[in-house]
Chains A and B, each alone.
Chain A
Amino acid sequence: MSRIELDSVTKRFPDGTTAVRALDLRVGDGELLVLVGPSGCGKTTALRMIAGLEAVTSGTISIDGVVVNDVEPRHRDIAMVFQSYALYPHLSVYENMAFSLRYRGARKSEIQARVAEAARILELEPYLRRKPRELSGGQRQRVAMGRAIVRQPRAFLMDEPLSNLDAKLRVQMRAEIAQLQRSLGTTTVYVTHDQTEAMTLGTRVAVLSGGVLQQVAPPTELYRRPANLFVAGFIGSPPMNLIDARLERGDGGPLVVFGPHRLRVPPSVLAGHSGLDRYLGEPVVVGIRPEHLADAALAGAPPAGPAGGPAPGGPAAGESVIELPISLREELGSEVHLHATIGAAAHAGAAGDGDDVRSLATIVARADPRSRIAEGTIARLVVDAAELHFFDPATGASIRDG
């Protein structure tokens, strides 16, 4: 069992591409850390550096406190599960799993015992004599896992191990991997571009973008307190609605103003975001998760003022109602997604994009399926203002404490 530490690890390829930039990461003993991010963000590169397949340009990688920068892959005692599985096509399932042990000089009886054990755990016993091409995708995936398990390595590295499976199998294998990892207790770094997979699997999740680490946190923390616009937009499905707005002084406290809409920021939010003070009269990016927008008719909210501002009578604390035209209603059975056009600009992208093209935004509400809001009508939506997120439009950083 072991710890993996990355200290300010940078990878620059000879062609000048910087795939990973000053990455700091700690993977605790027995932990399953998920590395997630969009395509090309450097996940694979990071993993390959941990494996020793790729040299680091600067910084250090250590396993159990020992710097392994100059240690060859075979001496790092780690196992890797590749996206393509990389099973040896000319060897049987048994031989594939036994392969590494044989070259590490394990005794024959030992090899047999370990392969048998792995095959039992992964339910591969009926297939040991088969060649990889005679297996289904899921079975191949399990062989790849088995090849890693028999090694009893210090750590598992997995690069999108489920991406070649169909959706249903992926969910099933995801659960199996989680279970297996927990029962073996082997330190694991798991790479995926699928945020759902990341959230369901990881003890902690590290979000990477453009080779830069954005945030490392447990899944709920990541969801509830995204550190910046990128994480806010990346984690969650449908993604958080991000709107360019202004923070203005109102009668009963600060107001979020975008287009014709105004939302009151309840005192509880102000208390938790003391940094907001400095943004009064300034632009901010406000984030609203789709599930924090509800059909007002079902929520039992009082009628709103004509401009959608706070009702004079004072609504229930932390709630506000906005009126929006609905452009699309998607039925998902357990919920409906309502797409609404707002008379304001959507935030064009994560910080530093420099993209000034702003379009009128669509925001998505995740409503109760009993909602009768139809396409083409104006709907009244309740915003759970207690769950608003605020970001600095210039830096993209979350606005929390002053």
Chain B
Amino acid sequence: MIAAARSRSSRLAARRRRAGILLSLPAVALVVALLGVPIGQAVYYSMTIWNGITATWVGPSAYASTFTDPIFWRVLENNALLLLAVPFAIGIPLVIAALLNEHVRGWRFFRSVYFLPTAISWVVIGMFALRFFSATGVLNQVLAHFGLGPSATDMLAGETSALAALAITFVWSMIGTNTMIFLTGMATLDPTLIEAARVDGLSRWQIFFRVQLPLLTRFVQFAFVITVISAFSALFSLIFVMTGGGPGFGTTTLEFFVYQTGFQQVQFGTGALYGIILFVIMALVGLVQLRLIRPSDGEGW
């Protein structure tokens, strides 16, 4: 009896603990072994010079020499330039979602069509974009048809224009995901709010900007994070198919640089270093993401 009175948690609680540990173990093991450990290894590799056969330790100075490498900054500049596409990748879907939310005839069909790119691989998208932007491509044909522009410029041939082509393709393929996010957000809005605003005499535009948009802040933030993550770490396939990082380093972003350095030039150490820098950038974005997710779950984990 005394023992019973003293035991703070019951046998049931012990069982629950045991079951909890047992059931969560596989996931933890998988994530630690294949995502956690390699991060640690990458930090180590990043401070070595390693061609796949012989590795020499350089230490933190590896980072110092990277930060003086103009090519590295050229690559980071590409990443920064890609960020210019983000407002479009958010603004356009926002408008589309608002239009869809008017529920005109056939809106369900349109919705399915607009979301479709989410299902398509970047490889396939890149495959089309390659033809679209090429000298004999669709874009030039269309421009020529309207008598516009000196036709037959290959956008993928110039460093800046190639990056622009990449950004346009990126925006196009983000439309589905972001429209989906915003439409979901709009569905959560209380319709009586909009009716109230209408009764109060606000115009359609005023309702959108003054009522709906402020209430969608959370969703806009979420879309922003998703878009930035995609821009920095999901464009590998697109670049691989469209430009191979070229011309020059015109479309080489950090993630592609990792691949080039590590697997094409077989400099595992430097490749890992670029990977770590990418990780740090993503982690910063991730902190924003975390702040977005946490308030909604009530009792924090």
CB of A55 within 8 Å of the partner chain: yes
CB of A210 within 8 Å of the partner chain: no
CB of B148 within 8 Å of the partner chain: no
Q: Is the CB of B8 within 8 A of A57?
A: yes
Q: Is the CB of B7 within 8 A of A55?
A: yes
- Among B9-17, B29-37, B217-225, B251-259, the one that faces the other chain is B9-17
Taken together as a complex, chains A and B put the C-alpha atoms of A71 and B9 apart, in Å, by 12
Q: Is the CB of B8 within 8 A of A69?
A: no
For window 37-74 of A, CB contacts with B under 8 Å fall at 52-60, 67, 69-73
Taken together as a complex, chains A and B put the C-alpha atoms of A70 and B15 apart, in Å, by 12
Query: Which of chain B's residues have a CB closer than 8 A to the CB of A69?
Result: 1, 4-5, 7, 10
Q: Is the CB of B1 within 8 A of A55?
A: no
For window 1-52 of B, CB contacts with A under 8 Å fall at 1, 4-5, 7-13, 15
Query: Which of chain A's residues have a CB closer than 8 A to the CB of B15?
Result: 72
Q: Is the CB of A59 within 8 A of B10?
A: no
Taken together as a complex, chains A and B put the C-alpha atoms of A71 and B10 apart, in Å, by 8
Q: Is the CB of B12 within 8 A of A58?
A: no
- Residue from A55, A59, A60, A67 within 8 A of B12 (CB atoms): A55
Query: Is the contact region of chain A dominated by helix, strand, or loop, or is it mixed?
Result: loop
Query: Which of chain A's residues have a CB closer than 8 A to the CB of B12?
Result: 52-53, 55, 72-73
Query: Which of chain B's residues have a CB closer than 8 A to the CB of A59?
Result: 5
Query: Which of chain B's residues have a CB closer than 8 A to the CB of A67?
Result: 1, 4
Taken together as a complex, chains A and B put the C-alpha atoms of A69 and B7 apart, in Å, by 9
- A interface size (C-beta, 8 A): 15
Taken together as a complex, chains A and B put the C-alpha atoms of A71 and B4 apart, in Å, by 10
Taken together as a complex, chains A and B put the C-alpha atoms of A57 and B13 apart, in Å, by 13
- Residue from A53, A55, A60, A73 within 8 A of B9 (CB atoms): A55
Q: Is the CB of B1 within 8 A of A60?
A: yes
Query: Which of chain B's residues have a CB closer than 8 A to the CB of A53?
Result: 12
Q: What is the minimal beta-carbon distance from B2 to any residue of chain A, in angstroms?
A: 10
Taken together as a complex, chains A and B put the C-alpha atoms of A301 and B109 apart, in Å, by 83
Q: Is the CB of B13 within 8 A of A58?
A: no
Query: Which of chain A's residues have a CB closer than 8 A to the CB of B11?
Result: 70-72
Taken together as a complex, chains A and B put the C-alpha atoms of A53 and B4 apart, in Å, by 15
Beta-carbon nearest neighbor of A59 in chain B:
B5
Taken together as a complex, chains A and B put the C-alpha atoms of A69 and B1 apart, in Å, by 8
Q: Is the CB of A55 within 8 A of B5?
A: no
Q: What is the minimal beta-carbon distance from B155 to any residue of chain A, in angstroms?
A: 55
Interface string of A380-398 (1 = CB under 8 A from B): 0000000000000000000
Q: What is the minimal beta-carbon distance from A49 to any residue of chain B, in angstroms?
A: 9
Q: What is the minimal beta-carbon distance from B184 to any residue of chain A, in angstroms?
A: 25
Query: Which of chain A's residues have a CB closer than 8 A to the CB of B7?
Result: 55, 69-70
Taken together as a complex, chains A and B put the C-alpha atoms of A55 and B9 apart, in Å, by 6
Taken together as a complex, chains A and B put the C-alpha atoms of A83 and B171 apart, in Å, by 51
Taken together as a complex, chains A and B put the C-alpha atoms of A54 and B7 apart, in Å, by 12
- Residue from B5, B9, B10 within 8 A of A58 (CB atoms): B5
Query: Which of chain B's residues have a CB closer than 8 A to the CB of A55?
Result: 7-10, 12-13
Beta-carbon nearest neighbor of A58 in chain B:
B5
For window 71-99 of A, CB contacts with B under 8 Å fall at 71-73
Q: What is the minimal beta-carbon distance from A348 to any residue of chain B, in angstroms?
A: 35
Beta-carbon nearest neighbor of B15 in chain A:
A72
For window 320-359 of A, CB contacts with B under 8 Å fall at none
Q: Is the CB of A52 within 8 A of B10?
A: yes
Taken together as a complex, chains A and B put the C-alpha atoms of A67 and B10 apart, in Å, by 13
Q: What is the minimal beta-carbon distance from A9 to any residue of chain B, in angstroms?
A: 10
Beta-carbon nearest neighbor of B3 in chain A:
A70
Query: Which of chain A's residues have a CB closer than 8 A to the CB of B4?
Result: 56, 60, 67, 69-70
Beta-carbon nearest neighbor of B10 in chain A:
A55
Q: What is the minimal beta-carbon distance from A159 to any residue of chain B, in angstroms?
A: 17
Beta-carbon nearest neighbor of A8 in chain B:
B5
Q: Is the CB of A70 within 8 A of B5?
A: no
Taken together as a complex, chains A and B put the C-alpha atoms of A54 and B5 apart, in Å, by 13
Beta-carbon nearest neighbor of B12 in chain A:
A72
Taken together as a complex, chains A and B put the C-alpha atoms of A259 and B10 apart, in Å, by 56
Interface string of A102-138 (1 = CB under 8 A from B): 0000000000000000000000000000000000000
Taken together as a complex, chains A and B put the C-alpha atoms of A58 and B6 apart, in Å, by 7
Query: Which of chain B's residues have a CB closer than 8 A to the CB of A58?
Result: 5
Q: Is the CB of B10 within 8 A of A70?
A: yes
A–B Cβ pairs within 8 angstroms, 26 of them: A52-B10, A52-B12, A54-B10, A55-B7, A55-B8, A55-B9, A55-B10, A55-B13, A56-B4, A56-B5, A59-B5, A60-B1, A60-B4, A67-B1, A67-B4, A69-B4, A69-B5, A69-B7, A69-B10, A70-B4, A70-B7, A70-B10, A70-B11, A71-B11, A72-B11, A72-B15
A interface, CB within 8 angstroms of B = 52-60, 67, 69-73
| CB-CB nearest 9 A-B residue pairs | A55-B10, A69-B4, A58-B5, A55-B9, A72-B12, A72-B11, A70-B4, A70-B11, A60-B1
B interface, CB within 8 angstroms of A = 1, 4-5, 7-13, 15
Extra inter-chain contacts (6) besides given A55-B13, A69-B1, A72-B15, CB under 8 Å: A53-B12, A55-B7, A69-B5, A70-B4, A70-B7, A72-B12
